Amino acid sequence: MTANSSKDIAITTLLSVGQHPLSARPRRAEEDARALEVMLQFAPASMKALHAGDTADAQNLTVLKDYLGMGIPSIDVIPTSADSDAAEALASYLANAGDGQPHILLTGTRSEVGESSGFLPYLLAEKLAIPFVPNICDILSIDMAAGVAEVMQSLPRGQRRKIKTQLPFVASVGMAAAIPRQSSFGAARRGVINTVSSIDTVADEAQTAWKTEPARKRPKRLKVVKAKTAAERFKAATAKVQSSGGEKIYEVDKAAEAILKLLKEEKVL
Amino acid sequence: MADYLSQIIFWLGITLITLGVIGAMRRIRLWRQGQSSTVHWKGLLQIPKRYLVDLHHVVARDKYISNTHVATAGGFVLTSVLVIIVYLFGIKGAVLNWLMLFSSALMLVGAVFVFKRRINPPANLSKGKWSRLPYSLLIYSTTFLLLALPATGLLPDYTGSYLMIALLSVGVFWGFSEMYFGITWGGPMKHAFAGALHLGLHRRQERFGGGRSTGLKALDLDKDSLGVEKPEDFKWNQLLSFDACVECGRCEKACPAFAAGQPLNPKKLIQDMVVGMAGGDTAKFAGSPYPGVTGTYKGGAIIPIVDTLVPANTIWSCTTCRACVEECPMMIEHVDAIVDMRRHQTLEKGNTPGKSAELLENLKTTDNPNGYAPDSRMDWAADQNLKVFGEDTQQADVLLWMGDAAFDLRNQRTLRATVALLRAASVDFAVIGNQECDVGDAARRLGDEATFQRLTKDNIATLSKYQFKHIVTTDPHVFHSLKNEYPDFGGHYSVYHHTQFLAELVQQSKLKLNSTSLGDVTYHDPCYLGRYNGEFDAPRYLLESMGISVKEMERSQRRSRCCGGGGGAPITDIPGEQRIPDMRIADAKEINAGTVAVACPQCNAMFEGVVAPRPDIKDVAELMLDATVFEEAH
Ligand code: SF4
Ligand code: SF4
């Protein structure tokens, strides 16, 4: 397969408005910017960026401009208000995109503000009925003939694993991906924000019942350092955790049973 | 017979002067490729004065060459005027002959000294066509001296000496070719033609007559393409200025990046701009290369400069120390050109190297270069009980600008010292606390004019809310920006560097200083206080008031060597053979200084980064605090 044909696919990256943890100012979300970087570096034939949010907000707009500054010519924006369900809007937009439906849909692993549940890519994959690969850091290759893509997934402690998945699929990009490129003022100025108007947004019913309050700092478990030498510390920081006990369950029913049992044991249910 | 020679001179003169005029027009066309910029016509009348005063002020730092130049250039101009009067207009007279004798002799003397200097030229001088120039000067002056001798009757006529006539004809031809034709066709004499016009039409007219103009020019962010991508994006008067370069290499000798083996040579940069403007390649350049860069590069007026004509690392090696501008006898503005190119790389290409992208992003999201929480700017002063504008007061005599030193443990000591000194002198001062943003100096020098202007506008809006008489800052970069660059955006303030303000307090006896016994102390002039703002005396006055007799390093005051901390250079971090701060500390060690007094947080950070053993690094304010006599509390 030639390199060219492997690029002959469509990728869409979902972008959200992030928030700086110290200044609380809106900014490019770090993971979304990385997802955009993965897309720009892979440089497929068709690249799209998609955002669902409030376009009337000037601060949101400057953040979208910042993404445009990375060199993507335009961003499609689905106007949604804060109380509507972004997942619904995005899913219905993508489902109705017809030929415009991407082969790969990239997101960050979780948003920097709002619910920040990390659930969005799962929901989208479910609604579009395509696989989901969490926490990737790169797209390695595409085999259009076989309809298969190979991606690099990042695991804890700097470990990586190659995963083959069928096209199309949703993938979330984590912090292990390449640092996003600098946003340039000129490109930001030239970039275009297209508002997509034909989407019916659905109010997020569940959200209205919620009460939100500022997050409390969770107490941190004290670390007991057992390692005596530098070599041991290095090993502790990098070595793969050997799982002890446990078993691999492949049948869905049995797996569900096992999960239920664990939840009961832990008194979650 | 002599008529025969006159005829030759007449026709050669007419031909070569005509060709010269055509060349001049071609050259002017090249400059006009540039962008529009105010034409300071009045400046043209000032050319002689600017040559004799401003240019010579710089040239005279090297007595040998300034005397040589006066003799050569003066002799040449006078001789040429006489040649035109006598040979082209045919006006004869004994006075003219004697004058010609004198002027050509004067030029000959100059030419001999030019020749002598070229026997074993230092590395900063260019070879190539420049090695030819002394011969041309000798030939031109000797020829007209020999022609004047019989005319004044000192020698018999050359009638009958065909050899002499042939030789003189060749001399006239050579001399005219170099001096009248080459001057506009890219010969070494080009510097006289372009240089004269450049002195008149300089983009920074304020620099003449002892003035200063060091603030960067504001960039219109609504323009189509920002900064300089290709030579024609420069202003026309910048293109003209590049043509004025005499390749004397004074800038090269002064450049800290060049000395550190980073791939920058200001002289070559200017010559590369000439190549770009005129089109061609760099093969003919006969001076020192960019350290570590080999090969020939091509350029053209509409060909992007960076990475085609000039390596990207060249423009990012510059510390914006202005040592080159200070030394340049032709008053060329290297820093403007470098920042113009950086602006394009940053604003249009998003290509700022090293950690700069992170720094610029931090400035966007947190208003400080290191990404600290904006509401922690005042943390350093938790124990200081400072008055804060907007919280404790609306007005004070002095607004103390903390700068990013507020986030830096080392430089907080300087801030503390300054606060203690202001209190000791009962100065009524306050800070703007967490409302303060980075002043934008680094962003601007890294080419991010958009972020600079955003920070500038925010700071000006904050400052407009309060009443104060002066701003005092411990950071020369802040000092420079507030004083020289904020006015373009409507911020007009009376700004003091802390050494200036403290010097006034000492002068008014509001601060009393004891003598200290510190051993040998030297003072390092920060570029942005010294060269940028002409303040050399206040810090020295303070040190002397403490009984310290400052031991000067070889490069000091105007010629101070940069610490390596300016222009975002520590962030772009372009590799070289050695580090600039190491070289500066070596300067201090050479004179056995035990303490280097500094007056800038950048210098402080750069020098403290030099491995021991090295002299102690202390801000002038810290030294003062040790020496201050505190009145008994009542
Ligand atoms: S400003 Fe300083 S570092 Fe930059 S080129 Fe000039 S002398 Fe070199
Ligand atoms: S730029 Fe100025 S200092 Fe440098 S070589 Fe040219 S004339 Fe000399």
* Average pLDDT of the residues in B380-389: 93
Cβ neighbours of residue B69 closer than 8 Å, sequence gap 6 or more: B59, B110
Cβ count near B305 (within 10 Å): 29
**Any domain includes A197:** yes
**Per-residue pLDDT at B559:** 93
In degrees, to the nearest 5, what angle opens at C-alpha A26 toward C-alphas A25 and A29?
125
- Are A182 and B360 in contact (CB < 8 Å)? yes
Q: Which two tokens stand for residue B471?
A: 């701003």
* Average pLDDT of the residues in B362-389: 93
B321 Cβ closer than 6 Å to some ligand 1 atom: yes
CATH of the domain at A16: 3.40.50.620
Q: Is residue A23 a contact partner of residue B365, using CB atoms and an 8 Å limit?
A: yes
**Any domain includes A251:** no
**Any domain includes A103:** yes
* Average pLDDT of the residues in A208-229: 78
Minimal Cβ distance to A20: which of B346, B366, B376: B366
Minimal Cβ distance to B365: which of A27, A71, A185: A27
Chain B residues whose beta carbon lies within 8 Å of the beta carbon of residue A20:
365-366
Strand order through the sheet with B521-523:
B521-523, B595-598, B616-619
Report whether pLDDT(B6) > 60. Answer: yes
Report residue B216's pLDDT band, with 50, 70 and 90 as the boundaries.
very high
**Per-residue pLDDT at A242:** 67
**Any domain includes A235:** no
Q: Is residue B186 a contact partner of residue B278, using CB atoms and an 8 Å limit?
A: yes
Length of chain A: 269
Task: Enumerate the domain spans of chain B.
Answer: 2-201, 223-349, 360-501, 521-627
From ligand 1's centre to the CA of B218, what distance in Å? 20
Between CA B360 and CA A181 the distance in angstroms is: 12
**Any domain includes A61:** yes
Report whether pLDDT(B490) > 80. Answer: yes
**Per-residue pLDDT at A58:** 86
* Average pLDDT of the residues in B475-496: 96
Report whether pLDDT(A4) > 50. Answer: no
What is the CA B127 to chain-centroid distance, rounded?
Answer: 24
Note if the bond before A134 is cis, omega within 30 degrees: no
Q: Tell me the β-bridge partners of B521.
A: B595
**Per-residue pLDDT at B535:** 95
**Any domain includes A221:** no
State which residues form the domain around A204: 6-208
From ligand 2's centre to the CA of B57, what distance in Å? 15
Report residue B347's pLDDT band, with 50, 70 and 90 as the boundaries.
very high
Q: Which two tokens stand for residue B221?
A: 């962010």
Q: How far is CA A31 from CA A108, A151, A152, A179, B602, in A?
A: 5, 17, 16, 9, 33
Q: Which atom of ligand 1 is nearest to the CA of B323?
A: 7
Between CA B205 and CA B39 the distance in angstroms is: 10
Minimal Cβ distance to B347: which of A27, A66, A184: A184
Report whether pLDDT(B633) > 60. Answer: no
pLDDT tens across A73-96, in order? 999 999 888 777 888 889 888 888
B100 Cβ closer than 6 Å to some ligand 1 atom: no
**Candidates 3.30.1490, 3.40.50, 1.20.120, 2.60.40; CATH matching B360-501:** 3.40.50
Q: Is residue B236 a contact partner of residue B35, using CB atoms and an 8 Å limit?
A: yes
The domain tally of chain A equals 1
Report whether pLDDT(A203) > 80. Answer: no
Report residue A1's pLDDT band, with 50, 70 and 90 as the boundaries.
very low
Report residue A3's pLDDT band, with 50, 70 and 90 as the boundaries.
very low
DSSP character for B630? P
Q: Which of B261, B353, B260 is nearest to B306 (CA)?
A: B353
Chain A residues whose beta carbon lies within 8 Å of the beta carbon of residue B342:
none
B299 Cβ closer than 6 Å to some ligand 1 atom: no
Report residue B473's pLDDT band, with 50, 70 and 90 as the boundaries.
very high
- Which one of the ligands is nearest to B335 CA? 1
DSSP character for B333? -
Mutate-to-test residue for ligand 2 from B62, B189, B240, B251, highest number of ligand atoms within 8 A of CB: B251
Report whether pLDDT(A243) > 80. Answer: no
Q: Is residue A216 a contact partner of residue A175, using CB atoms and an 8 Å limit?
A: no
pLDDT tens across A132-159, in order? 999 999 999 999 889 999 999 999 888 8
Rounded to two decimals, the pTM is: 0.91
In order, the DSSP letters of B553-587 are PSS-GGGPPP-S-STTHHHH----SS-HHHHHHHH
* Average pLDDT of the residues in B90-98: 87
Binding pocket residue ranges, ligand 2, CB within 6 Å: B 245-251, 266-267, 270, 327-330, 332
The alpha-carbon gap from A184 to the nearest alpha carbon of chain B, in Å, equals 4
Chain B residues whose beta carbon lies within 8 Å of the beta carbon of residue A23:
365-367, 373-374
**Candidates 1.10.1200, 1.10.1070, 1.20.950, 3.30.1380; CATH matching B2-201:** 1.20.950
Q: What is the average pLDDT value for chain A, to the nearest integer? A: 87
**Candidates 3.80.10, 3.40.50, 1.10.10, 1.10.1060; CATH matching B223-349:** 1.10.1060
**Per-residue pLDDT at B1:** 45
Strands A46-53 and A10-14: parallel
pLDDT tens across B125-160, in order? 998 889 899 999 999 999 988 888 888 878 877 766
Which A residues in the span 18-57 are in contact with B, Cβ-Cβ below 8 Å? 20, 22-23, 25, 27
**Per-residue pLDDT at B632:** 56
> Least CA distance to B346: which residue of chain A?
A184
The alpha-carbon gap from A88 to the nearest alpha carbon of chain B, in Å, equals 31
The alpha-carbon gap from A58 to the nearest alpha carbon of chain B, in Å, equals 15
Minimal Cβ distance to B226: which of A25, A69, A185: A185
**Per-residue pLDDT at A17:** 94
**Per-residue pLDDT at B226:** 94
**Per-residue pLDDT at B2:** 56
Of the listed ranges A118-122, A218-222, B391-395, B443-447, the one predicted with least confidence: A218-222
**Terminal CA-to-CA distance of chain B, rounded, Å?**
101
Q: Which two tokens stand for residue A92?
A: 């219905």
